[in-house]
Structure 1
Amino acid sequence: MTGSLRPVFYAIGAMVGVLGLMMFIPGILDLADGNNATADAFLLSGVLTTFIGGAVMLAMRSEVKGLTPRAAFVLTVGAWVALCLAAALPLHLSDEGLNWTDAIFEAVSGLTTTGSTILTGLDERPDGILIWRAILQWIGGIGIIVTAMAFWPMLGIGGMQLFRMESSDASDKVLPRAQEIASAISLIYLALTVTCAIAYGLTGMSWLESIAHAMTTVATGGYSTSDDSLGAFTQGGSDLVALTFMLLAALPFGIFLLALRGKPGALWKDAQVRGFFVIVLVATLGFTFFLASTDAHGDGSALRVASFNVVSIITGTGFATADYDGWGPPAQAAFFVFMFIGGCAGSTTCSVKIFRYQIAGSAMRRYMENLLRPNAIIPIRYNGRSVADSALHSVFGFFFVFFAVYAVSAALLSLIGLDTTTALSGAATSLANVGPGLGEMIGPSGTFADLPDTAKWVLTGNMLIGRLEVLAVLVFLSPRFWRY
Structure 2
Amino acid sequence: MIDLRPVGYVIGLIISVLGGTMIVPGIVDAAAQTGNSSAFFESALMTVVVGLMTTITCQNRAGHSLSIRQAFLLTIGIWLLVPLFAALPLVIGAPSVRLIDAYFEAVSGITTTGASVFVDIDSLPVGVHMWRAMLNWLGGLGIAFIAMIFLPVMRVGGMQFFRTEGFDTFGKILPRATDIAGQLFFVYVTLTLCCMGTYAFLGMPAIEAVEHALATIATGGFSPRAASFADYSSGIHYATALFMVLGSLPYIRYVQIVQGGLRPLWRDAQVRAYLGWVTVAVLSVCLWRVGTSDQPAESVFRESLFNLVSIMSSTGFGMGSFPAWGSFAIIVGMWLGVIGACSGSSAAGLSVFRVQLMFAALHQQIRRIHAPHRIAPIRYQGRSVDPDTIDAMILYLGAYILTFGVIAVLILQSGVDFESAVFASWTSIGNIGYGLGPMLVRTGTFIDFPDVAKLLMILAMIMGRLSLLAVFVVILPRFWRD
| TM superposition score normalised by structure 1 | 0.96
Distance in structure 2 (CA, Å) of the matches to 1:408 and 1:442: 21
Distance in structure 1 (CA, Å) of the matches to 2:17 and 2:138: 11
User: Equivalent residue of 2:231, what SS?
Assistant: helix
Aligned residue number for residue 434 of structure 2:
436
Distance 1:91 1:218, change over 3 A: same
Aligned residue number for residue 367 of structure 2:
369
Distance 1:24 1:358, change over 3 A: same
Distance in structure 2 (CA, Å) of the matches to 1:26 and 1:437: 27
User: Equivalent residue of 1:394, what SS?
Assistant: helix
Q: Does the aligned pair in 2 maintain the 1:291–1:298 contact within 8 Å?
A: no
> Where does 1:75-90 land on structure 2 (aligned, <5 Å)?
75-90=74-89
2:472 maps to 1:469: no
| TM superposition score normalised by structure 2 | 0.96
> Where does 1:421-460 land on structure 2 (aligned, <5 Å)?
421-442=419-440, 446-460=444-458
Residue 408 (structure 2) aligned to one of 410, 413, 417: 410
**Residue type of the alignment partner of 2:480:** W
Distance in structure 1 (CA, Å) of the matches to 2:441 and 2:432: 12
Q: Does the aligned pair in 1 maintain the 2:94–2:125 contact within 8 Å?
A: no
Residue 266 (structure 1) aligned to one of 253, 264, 268: 264
Residue 332 (structure 2) aligned to one of 334, 342, 356: 334
Aligned residue number for residue 29 of structure 1:
28
Give the C-alpha shift of residue 269 in structure 1. 1.0
Distance in structure 2 (CA, Å) of the matches to 1:452 and 1:169: 48
Q: Deviations over 1:170-209 (max 9, x none)?
A: 7545844211101110110001001101111112111210
Deviates more, 1:327-336 or 1:439-448: 439-448
Deviates more, 1:433-442 or 1:371-380: 433-442
Q: Does the aligned pair in 2 maintain the 1:325–1:443 contact within 8 Å?
A: no
Aligned residue number for residue 376 of structure 2:
378
Distance in structure 2 (CA, Å) of the matches to 1:352 and 1:80: 19
**Residue type of the alignment partner of 1:330:** F
Aligned residue number for residue 109 of structure 2:
110
Distance in structure 1 (CA, Å) of the matches to 2:15 and 2:203: 35
Q: Does the aligned pair in 2 maintain the 1:12–1:75 contact within 8 Å?
A: yes
2:315 maps to 1:317: yes
Distance in structure 1 (CA, Å) of the matches to 2:281 and 2:166: 35
Distance 1:388 1:180, change over 3 A: same
Q: Deviations over 1:196-224 (max 9, x none)?
A: 01111112111210000000000001100
User: Equivalent residue of 2:119, what SS?
Assistant: coil
Q: Does the aligned pair in 1 maintain the 2:167–2:177 contact within 8 Å?
A: no
Aligned residue number for residue 185 of structure 2:
186
Distance 1:169 1:150, change over 3 A: closer
Q: Does the aligned pair in 1 maintain the 2:435–2:445 contact within 8 Å?
A: no
2:157 maps to 1:158: yes
Distance in structure 1 (CA, Å) of the matches to 2:276 and 2:152: 26
Distance in structure 1 (CA, Å) of the matches to 2:165 and 2:202: 43
Q: Deviations over 1:125-161 (max 9, x none)?
A: 1001100000000000000000011110011100000
Q: Deviations over 1:12-33 (max 9, x none)?
A: 0000000001111111221222
Aligned residue number for residue 142 of structure 1:
141
**Residue type of the alignment partner of 2:355:** Y
2:157 maps to 1:131: no
Q: Deviations over 1:270-294 (max 9, x none)?
A: 1111110110110011112122234
Q: Which runs of 5+ in 1 are unaligned?
A: none
Distance 1:371 1:173, change over 3 A: farther
Distance 1:332 1:467, change over 3 A: same
Distance 1:309 1:382, change over 3 A: same
User: Equivalent residue of 1:421, what SS?
Assistant: helix
Q: RMSD between aligned alpha carbons?
A: 1.7
Distance in structure 1 (CA, Å) of the matches to 2:165 and 2:310: 33
Q: Does the aligned pair in 1 maintain the 2:8–2:58 contact within 8 Å?
A: yes
Q: Which runs of 5+ in 2 are unaligned?
A: none
Give the C-alpha shift of residue 168 in structure 1. 7.1
Distance in structure 2 (CA, Å) of the matches to 1:63 and 1:449: 42
